[in-house]
Amino acid sequence: MRHVGIVGIGQTPVGTWVDRTLSDLAVASLRSAMQDAGADSVQALYIGNMLSGQLQRQENLGALIADAAGLRGMPSVKIEAGCAAGGAALHMGVLAVAAGVYDTVAVIGVEKMAGYPVGDVLAALATAGALDEAAHGLTCAGLNALIMRRYMYEYSWRHDDFAAFSINAHRNAVTNSNAMFRRPLTLEEYRTARLIADPLTLLDSSPICDGAAAVILCSADAARHFRHKPVRITASAVATDTVALHDRSDILWPRAVYASAKAAYGQAGRSPQDIDLFELHDAFSITAALSLEASGFAEKGAGVRLAQDGAIALKGSIPICTFGGLKARGHPVGASGLYQAVEAVMQLRADAGNNQVEGARIAMIQSIAGSGSFVATHILEV
């Protein structure tokens, strides 16, 4: 396989942008990434998106966004993998360059969720899960509430014990100008937050929001044409699990997280000890805990302790959500995997300002869909 690197990054602020179209957001992030790379053009686009058909009533985003970007005619394909569509699109972009078909491509993640009736958005998000569970009213929050309740029961954690995940995310978002929630969170606020699905509260949950992020990928040969030394993608691994939660033998062990992380470590020749920072998929605080465990950073049931001990902080042993994560930077679902990539590149370029993880050389990013049914894990290195 040819080596593939990231030479450009772009992102729009995450928020509720009812006056900006899906195309506007995607094109803004693409232009920013091309400018960052010093690229006049690219050879193909890969678009990560989940909800455009259901919410905007717009499919065929490959053609739509190429056209809107002034790249009419360009090969351009949409990838869908639930809330992990961004990670999946990054994976497909890596394959396209690795195949030797293209030397330079852009991968864009874009999602617009704000401004629609909340019930419509939740129903659309639930299409990443199993129809028979959705039919019983199980939203994404509902499914993760079941997981969180079981986790608390099995390992004797209290709801308060998860606060450190949300507090860490909000703390890091304060100095991220692209984050949706740029304010610190107190334990008291966390404790008194509105219940969403017992035991999950609003402050365990990532927000409904809009955004787009993009990266420019290139082959090792093409790297000399760009302004930045490439951040190498040393692993790109996808795995799946049952879509229905009730089909899993252990809902506290996300097998696709384990499998994709294991495959990624194998590809990169790395182990959890080598990872300097981990942009994980904290759609809910429980998801962060399980991701840390199944990715090899904590024993089963002990992911919460990493948050409580401060290991997940910028100066900790395994920093996560270094720009706010899904919780506080925001989770425009199909875009989140690309925000993670952009933020990891900023860290590895030592260009993260107040959010810098000192000496970061190896970053892992992980995008999860459907309560763990689809997972994409990438390792990035300088």
Q: Which residues are catalytic?
A: 83, 331
Q: Check if the beta carbon of residue 168 is closer than 8 Å to that of residue 307.
A: yes
Which of 7, 30, 114, 134 binds a second copy (CB under 8 A)? It is 134
Burial of 289 (C-beta count, 10 Å sphere; 0-12/13-18/19+):
buried
DSSP string, 137-167: T--HHHHHHHHHHHHHHHHT--GGGGHHHHH
DSSP state of 210: B
Cβ-Cβ contacts under 8 Å for 109 (sequence gap 6 or more): 47, 48, 49, 85, 86, 89, 90, 212, 213, 214, 332, 334, 335, 336, 337, 338, 339
**88 binds a second copy per the rule CB under 8 A:** yes
Give the dihedral of Cα atoms 370, 21, 205, 271; nearest 10 deg: 60
Q: Pattern 189-208, binding to a second copy, x per CB under 8 A?
A: --------------------
Judged by CB under 8 A, which of 96, 209, 338, 342 binds a second copy?
96
Considering only 114-122, 224-232, 291-299, 365-373, which stretch makes contact with a second copy by CB under 8 A?
Answer: 365-373
Calpha distance 294→305 (Å, rounded): 14
Q: Please, what is the minimum distance in Å from the beta carbon of residue 243 to a second copy?
A: 5
Asked if 283 contacts 372 with a C-beta cutoff of 8 angstroms, the reply is no
Residues composing the chain: 382
| 60 vs 192, beta carbon nearer a second copy | 60
What strands, in cross-sheet order, belong to the sheet with 104-111?
Answer: 44-48, 104-111, 211-219, 4-11, 231-240, 374-381, 362-369, 277-279
Decide if residue 255 touches a second copy (CB under 8 A). Answer: yes
Residue closer to a second copy (CB basis): 78 or 281: 78
Supply the minimum distance, in Å, between the C-beta of residue 64 and a second copy: 5
Q: Which listed range, 71-79, 196-204, 274-282, 354-362, lies at the site for a second copy (CB under 8 A)? A: 71-79
**Closer of 99 and 195 to a second copy (Cβ):** 99
Residue 67 sits in the site that holds a second copy (CB under 8 A):
yes
Please count the CA atoms within 13 angstroms of the CA of 44 that sit on its side-chain side. 19
| 127: contact with a second copy by CB under 8 A | yes
Please give the Cα distance from 104 to 44 (Å, whole number): 7
- Work out whether 118 is an interface residue with a second copy (CB under 8 A): no
Range in contact with a second copy (rule: CB under 8 A) among 25-33, 47-55, 108-116, 188-196: 47-55
User: Is 243 a residue that touches a second copy (CB under 8 A)?
Assistant: yes
Of 204-212, 221-229, 319-327, 367-375, which part binds a second copy (CB under 8 A)? 367-375
Cα–Cα dist 269/282, whole Å:
26
Q: Closest approach of Cβ 133 to a second copy, in Å?
A: 11
Write down the least CB distance from residue 84 to a second copy, Å: 8
CA gyration radius, the chain: 19
Residue 20 binds to a second copy (criterion: CB under 8 A): no
Binder to a second copy among 53, 272, 296, 301 (CB under 8 A)?
Answer: 53
Q: How far is the CB of 73 from a second copy (least distance, A)?
A: 6
Please state, as a whole number, how many other Cβ atoms lie within 10 Å of the Cβ of residue 45.
Answer: 26
Task: Name the token pair of 29.
Answer: 């992030």
Footprint (CB under 8 A) of a second copy, residues 97-116: 98-101
Contact footprint for a second copy (CB under 8 A): 1-2, 44, 50-51, 53-54, 56-64, 66-67, 72-82, 88, 91-92, 94-96, 98-101, 123-124, 127-131, 134, 236-243, 247, 255-256, 259, 369-370, 373-374
